[in-house]
Amino acid sequence: MNIVLGIEGTAWNLSAAIVEEDKILSEYSLPYQPVGGGIHPRDAAQSHATNIKKVISTVLDKADIDPKNINGVAFSIGPGMGPCLRTVATAARALSLLLDIPLIGVNHCIAHIEIGKWLTGAKNPLILYVSGANSQVIGLRGRRYNIYGETLDIGIGNAIDKFSRAFNIRHPGGPKIEELAKKGERYIKLPYVVKGMDFSFSGLVTAAINAVNREEFSIYDVSFSLQENAFSMLVEVTERALAYTDTHELLLTGGVGANSRLREMLKIMCEDRDVRFFVPDKKYMGDNGVMIAYTGLLMLKSGITIKVEDSTVKPNFRPDEVEIKW
Ligand code: ATP
Ligand code: FE2
């Protein structure tokens, strides 16, 4: 029976977990909360450095196991913010050397997918991965996760966060804009940008900020319309990818997957197409240590480990760079 300790810390959430084959033994997080504005990479990394000892000792205590029984240490090697990645990688390397166990460098995007499959039982789904920095429509093709469509500029989460920051709404803006959008009463016209299988959000955000600033429309109506457009763009591309690949399962993952309007729109589309729609527990859609520990376990079992000297972080690591051997 393999046991893996995993550490996540690509951006806002420093989180660790210990996972055994089909069970979560422990998990603990100490998220970074920016004082004002968005996530500052160096501040976030400093916060992770301050908290890492507590996070790791807490998961070890909670799991109530002898560290000697841990078979591997997994960490998010990328994509993510350089200073944050380096902080977590340093801790993971130290643990690997100290316990004399393999080190496993996990692709953060793939971890979002694998935990979703694990927790929902989806077998071979198309995946809509929507988070702060990323927005991608992905599917497993042979031994690679193929990216069928993606954002041409910023991720949907960062787009919504940027809109909310313009009105001094504290980070993360996503959940707060969702609440404001519920009070929206009319749809206003905003940019809708889908190019082939890709989409883009920055023009939409700028137009939305301007619409509120010019006092033409209320923040409620603009939040509502912003969500309607952004999510429709995502649903359009997802639906097309389902059709192209003749897939009958859809998995939603990433922090923005918590949004109930996005879920509703996807659910309607899936029902129309006879597609089973899988949504993991909210807690595991955003960044978390369990997804890294679990994906690390799959990798360890497939013999995919790295030497400490080869474990340089990859801030732009894409999911289609990884050969899926499990
Ligand atoms: P990645 O590196 O995968 O891009 P991330 O660091 O952005 O991950 P996640 O936890 O996956 O982290 O996603 C965070 C994003 O999710 C933030 O932009 C946040 O505003 C957004 N978000 C969270 N809840 C909601 C919600 N209810 N509606 C819309 N967006 C949300
Ligand atoms: Fe993430």
CATH superfamily of 125-281: ATPase, nucleotide binding domain (3.30.420.40)
Q: Which of 129, 138, 256 to mutate to test the pocket of ligand 1 (most atoms within 8 A of CB)?
A: 256
Classify strands 126-130 and 249-253 as parallel, antiparallel or unpaired: parallel
Which pLDDT belongs to residue 278? 98
The pLDDT score that the predictor gives to residue 94 is: 98
Atom of ligand 1 nearest to the CA of 260: 27
What pLDDT score was predicted for residue 37? 86
CA 63 to chain centre: 25
Question: What is residue 35's predicted lDDT score, i.e. its pLDDT?
Answer: 86
Tokens 């995946």 found at: 127
Spans of the chain, pLDDT less than 50: none
Task: For residue range 206-242, list pLDDT tens digits in order.
Answer: 999 999 999 889 999 999 999 999 999 999 999 999 9
pLDDT at 216: 86
Provide residues with CB under 6 Å of ligand 1: 10-12, 80, 108, 131-134, 155, 157-158, 160-161, 172-175, 178, 254-256, 258-259, 286-287
Q: Distance between CA atoms of 2 and 258, rounded to whole angstroms?
A: 31
Distance 82 CA to ligand 2 centre (A): 14
The reply to whether the predicted model has a pTM over 0.85 is yes
Q: Ligand 2 centre and the CA of 132: distance in Å? A: 7
- Give strand pairing partners of 297: none
Contact status, residue 60 vs residue 43, Cβ threshold 8 Å: no
The number of the ligand 1 atom at minimal distance from the alpha carbon of 178 is: 28
How far does the centroid of ligand 2 lie from the alpha carbon of residue 104, in Å?
Answer: 18
326 CA → ligand 1 middle, Å: 27
* Domain 4-112+284-321, second-level architecture: 2-Layer Sandwich (3.30)
pLDDT tens sequence across 46-82: 999 999 999 999 999 999 999 999 999 999 999 999 9
Q: Residue 224 C-alpha to ligand 2 middle, in angstroms?
A: 24
Q: Where are the domains of the chain?
A: 4-112+284-321, 125-281
**Choice from 131, 162, 226, 292 to test ligand 1 binding pocket (greatest atom count within 8 A of CB):** 131
Q: Which long-range contacts (C-beta less than 8 Å, at least 24 apart) are formed by 155-159?
A: 155/130, 155/131, 155/201, 156/130, 156/131, 156/201, 156/230, 156/234, 156/256, 157/130, 157/131, 157/132, 157/133, 157/254, 157/255, 157/256, 158/38, 158/132, 158/133, 159/201, 159/202, 159/204, 159/205, 159/230
* The predicted structure's pLDDT at residue 22: 87
Same fold, 4-112+284-321 and 125-281: yes
The pLDDT of residue 60: 97
Residue 242 Cα distances to 77, 126, 149, 198, 279, angstroms: 30, 7, 11, 14, 16
What pLDDT score does 95 carry?
A: 98
Candidates 40, 227, 287: which one to mutate for ligand 1, based on the most atoms within 8 Å of Cβ? 287
> Closest ligand to 132 CA?
1
Which of ligand 1's atoms lies nearest the C-alpha of 258? 27
Instruction: Give me the long-range contacts of 317-320 (CB less than 8 A, separation at least 24).
Output: 317/77, 317/78, 317/79, 317/107, 317/108, 317/109, 318/79, 318/107, 318/109, 318/147, 319/107, 319/109, 319/110, 319/113, 319/136, 319/138, 319/145, 319/147, 320/144, 320/145, 320/146, 320/147
What backbone torsions phi and psi does residue 74 show, to the nearest 5 degrees? -110, 150
User: Hunting for tokens 């969702």 — which residue is that?
Assistant: 178
Q: In this structure, which amino acid lies at residue 276?
A: R
Q: What atom in ligand 1 is closest to the CA of residue 155?
A: 4
Paired strand residues for 8: 15
